[in-house]
Amino acid sequence: MKVYYDKDADLSLIKGKQVTIVGYGSQGHAHAQNLRDSGVNVTVGLRKSGASWAKAEGAGLKVAEVAEAVRAADVVMILLPDENIPDVYKNDVEPNIKQGGVLAFAHGFNVHYNQVIPRADLDVIMVAPKGPGHTVRSEYLKGGGVPSLIAVYQDKSGKARDIALSYAAANGGTKGGVIETNFREETETDLFGEQAVLCGGAVELVKMGFETLTEAGYAPEMAYFECLHELKLIVDLMYEGGIANMNYSISNNAEYGEYVTGTEVINEQSRVAMRNALKRIQTGEYAKMFIQEGKTNYPSMTARRRLNSVHPIEVVGEQLRDMMPWIKANKLVDQSKN
Ligand code: NDP
Ligand code: MG
Ligand code: MG
């Protein structure tokens, strides 16, 4: 697979265009400031009523209402919560984006699942950093960048790919490395990873380990350290050098136990569950569930968040992290999700 770096991108392409970033949240604040610092002409499109307006202005960026910001742009990058994108696209973007303009996303969800049907005259691209927005910004400030994906959905101008690569470069992506994918692959692998492994899988693994220890009478503080706190150390080792690097660093006892118990806990039944999850994503069934959830004001997410917040692992974790202020310092406070 080819990886693109700075030398493969023509930064002047994006520098020659008016770029509007719609949204100033996790990704939006990072893209807007990175592009601006790379010498790109950036306007942030927002609603006046929201909290982001003052933040973007405070960072010295040009801010305008979405429709107005879109009208002035050659390239419009949509960085809103995925659930809000279809309405904003229909009402503010589609009627205002110039003929032959470039429409960009950081996730393929809405286009792949037909929630946004881009106008036929547009180039449609994706530039998706493989990391949270605050890392996209902090790596850029260090002179680096978060590895990113690019994809082309619609190529009216014949230059869509070059523009995507140029945008990725201005955002720092070509410092970390850029690979090309397509909207379907990005959407399906992203959803699968977060559901089965990163968020769904990891959270339930941690909770079940904690519950097993505490129901057997062990102290919740001990269970918290062994099942949640230490996970970071293990993940860091895998992140830095793969599974072998992690196994090299842990004790022989821990490694042997890994072989004895790992495949018993994550077993063939888990594989079936993972395959089911992937099917649900591929058929669009999951997308339909999520869209419905949003349209009905998040009934099951609200209930689950409430249940999670009173789970003993969260209660004891809050107390223990109070004793470790250096950890708490990194907490992303009140990132309310909707
Ligand atoms: P956020 O939830 O952080 O976006 C919030 C921003 O959207 C705020 O500035 C908010 O402004 C604005 N906003 C919300 N609704 C509207 C509206 N109706 N009109 C105008 N502005 C609005 O989004 P993310 O950064 O998490 O995600 C953006 C995109 O990037 C998504 O497609 C996501 O899948 C993708 N992505 C996200 C990653 C991440 O790490 N979060 C990683 C890679 C891709 P206000 O203050 O007015 O509410
Ligand atoms: Mg995702
Ligand atoms: Mg231990």
Q: Please give the Cα distance from 179 to 151 (Å, whole number).
A: 9
**For 259-315, how does the pLDDT look when each residue is reduced to its tens digit (9 = 90+)?**
999 999 999 999 999 999 999 999 999 999 999 999 999 999 999 999 999 999 999
d(CA 266, CA 261): 9
Look up the pTM and report it.
0.92
Distances (CA, A) of 235 to 12, 207, 232, 241: 38, 17, 5, 10
Domain coordinates in residue numbering, the chain: 6-181, 191-328
**Average pLDDT of 65-83?**
97
Residue 217 clears pLDDT 50, i.e. is over it: yes
Pocket test for ligand 1, best of 79, 178, 334 (most atoms within 8 A of CB): 79
* Residue 79 alpha carbon, nearest atom of ligand 1: 28
For residue 148, give the nearest of 156, 162, 159, 136 by alpha carbon: 136
Query: What's the 192 CA to ligand 3 centre distance in angstroms?
Result: 29
What pLDDT sits at residue 333? 53
pLDDT on residue 236: 97
Amino acid letter for position 91: N
pLDDT, tens only, 122-179: 999 999 999 999 999 999 999 999 999 999 999 999 999 999 999 999 999 999 999 9
pLDDT at 338: 29
pLDDT, residue 336, reads 37
Average pLDDT over residues 204-212: 98
Nearest residue (by CA) to ligand 1, atom 12, is 23
Active-site residue 107, yes or no? Answer: yes
The CATH code that applies to domain 6-181 is: 3.40.50.720
* pLDDT at position 331: 77
d(CA 81, CA 204): 25
For ligand 1, say whether the CB of 294 is within 6 Å of any of its atoms.
no
Question: Is 82 close to ligand 1, i.e. is its CB under 6 Å away?
Answer: yes
* Model pLDDT for residues 243-269, shown as the tens digit of each residue: 999 999 999 999 999 999 999 999 999
Q: What is the pLDDT of residue 326?
A: 85
Under the banding of pLDDT at 50, 70 and 90, the label for residue 17 is very high
What is the per-residue pLDDT for 337? 37
Comparison of pLDDT for 221 and 337, the residue scoring more: 221
Is residue 84 pLDDT above 50, yes or no? yes
